[in-house]
Amino acid sequence: MKIMWHRHSCLCCFLILTLTASAAPRLFYSKYFKGSVPEYVAITVEHNGDAIYQEGKTDDNPIKLHLKDADIQELFGLADKFGSSASAKVNSI
């Protein structure tokens, strides 16, 4: 499965990401829909741009990639605008 990461994909993912409090900021998105393919997806983006895409909580072969600096700044800038609290959660239907 090819994953295409570009500005618009990252921006869409941001809308349902969770900003977690940690030593280094991290964005995390996950979804679980029983019967969908894949049923579980998780995307983690570190502040340094390292990202991991997983299709299962115990994915033996997660996809690792690195985002461009401009995309990192945009994602974390939007997260800062979304909420200045230590943790902000967005739920989607």
Per-domain boundaries in the chain? 13-82
- Phi and psi, residue 92, nearest 5°: -120, 160
- Between 15 and 76, name the one with better pLDDT: 76
Degrees, nearest 5: CA angle 63-11-93:
90
Residue 1 has pLDDT above 50, yes or no: no
Return the structure tokens found at 2: 């090819």
Say how far apart CA 54 and CA 45 lie, in whole Å: 12
pLDDT value, residue 24 = 77
pLDDT value, residue 86 = 45
Return the residue matching tokens 């909580």: 57
Q: Which pLDDT tens digit goes with each residue over 4-24?
A: 343 334 434 444 444 444 467
DSSP per-residue string spanning 22-63: SSS-EEEEEEE-TTSSSSEEEEEEETTSEEEEESSTT-SS-E
